Amino acid sequence: MAQLLEVRWHGRGGQGAKTAGYILAVAAAEQGKQVQAFPEYGAERRGAPLRSYVRISDRPIRLRCSVRRPEIVIVLDPSLVESENVADGIVPGGLILVNTSESPSRVRAKIGQPDVKIATVDANAISMETIGRPIPNTPMLGALARLRPDVVTLEAAEAAVKATLGEKLSADIIERNVQAVGRAYQEVQVE
């Protein structure tokens, strides 16, 4: 992992981008890292585009601005690939992880970034089958754990889901979210 790793989440209100960023930060903190996690949105409603940011470092983080040069971009809503510039500012060699049933090569054709890694996982299908609702945030954490275990391990992601969601959801729903993390870990595709 780089000295300072920056992650940008793209989603729509209600998809859990803010929560996913927070869970990732909790997982990284449990692994001894310094973290920041914060959303960026206005007075929009459910369904409006939003961004969430996470910084992870071995040292204290003194930056207090949005993430402009992410190493990792995670897209919870596949329609945002065509309506927003999700690759804006991504560093060469970075990773773009998209919630879609499409292949990484089809997503690359839409994004057009030849110098980044593209990965896809159908997090909506996974969350519908495990959780019962199309909330792709926890499956995307599982996919990230598979692709970047230096950032978050599968075990840390699962533990952070339990710790974070345990404050507001039933044990059954938490266990379903943990199952979603594990499934996405197995099903993510990368190019």
Write the CATH number for 163. Answer: 3.40.920.10
Please tell me the predicted confidence (pLDDT) of residue 1. Answer: 57
CA pseudo-torsion sign 173, 158, 2, 106: negative
pLDDT along the chain (191 residues), means of 10: 88 92 96 94 77 96 93 97 95 97 97 94 98 95 97 96 88 96 98 87
> Could you give the CA distance from residue 109 to residue 154 in angstroms, rounded to a whole number?
30
- CA-CA distance, 98 to 179, in Å (whole number)? 19
Query: What pLDDT score does 102 carry?
Result: 98
Task: Look at residue 43 in the predicted model and tell me its pLDDT.
Answer: 64
The 10s digit of each residue's pLDDT in 120-175 is 999 999 999 999 999 999 999 999 999 999 999 999 999 999 999 987 889 999 99
Sequence-ordered strand ranges (E) for 16-164 = 34-40, 49-57, 72-75, 95-99, 117-121
Identify the CA nearest to 144 among candidates 59, 43, 54, 72. 72
- 37 lies in which domain range? 4-190
Q: Look at residue 74 in the predicted model and tell me its pLDDT.
A: 98
Q: What is the pLDDT of residue 75?
A: 98
Structural domain count, the chain: 1
| Beta pairing, strands 34-40 & 49-57 | antiparallel
* pLDDT of amino acid 2: 56
pLDDT confidence of residue 44: 61
